[in-house]
Amino acid sequence: MKTSKTIVNLYVAWTVAFNTKSDPEGKPWPGKWRPADDRLAVNYNDVDIRLIELGIMQTQANKGIGKGKIQAFEYYMGEIDACITDAGHMGDEALNAILTNHRSTMFRWLGREVDLNFLEENK
C-alpha cells in the first residue's frame, strides 16, 4: 500500500458509517480498501487531510443516505478536488470551522459519531 494510512483510515471510517446507514437493514459494510483505490488515492498523500475529509463528507451529502452505497475512493475524487481548489480562498480558521460544521451535520444524519481518533494520533 502506497497511500497514507491516514487517508485509508479516513476513507474506511466515513464510508463504513455511510454505507451502514444506507443499508435498509443496517448491516455493517466491511470497509474494503482495494488496489484500485490505492492507485488513485496515493496522489493525495501530500494534500491537507482536512480537505480530503471535507470532500468525502460533501460527496456523501450530495449522494444522500439510503440512495446506494459508495464502493470506491474514486467516487470521492471530484469533491476532494473541488475542496482543494476552494481551499486557496480560505484560511486555517475558516477551514477548521467548516470541517467542524460538516462533521456535526454528518453525525446528525448518520445518527452517530464516526471514530476519527486516528486523526489526532497522526498530528
pLDDT tens digits, residue range 11-65? 999 999 999 999 888 788 888 899 999 999 999 999 999 999 999 999 999 999 8
Q: What is the pTM of this model?
A: 0.93
> If you write DSSP's letter for every residue of 47-105 in order, what string do you get?
S-HHHHHHHHHHHHHHH-TTS-----GGGGHHHHHHHHHHHTTS-HHHHHHHHHHHHHH
15 φ, ψ (degrees, to nearest 5): -70, -40
Per-residue pLDDT at 122: 63
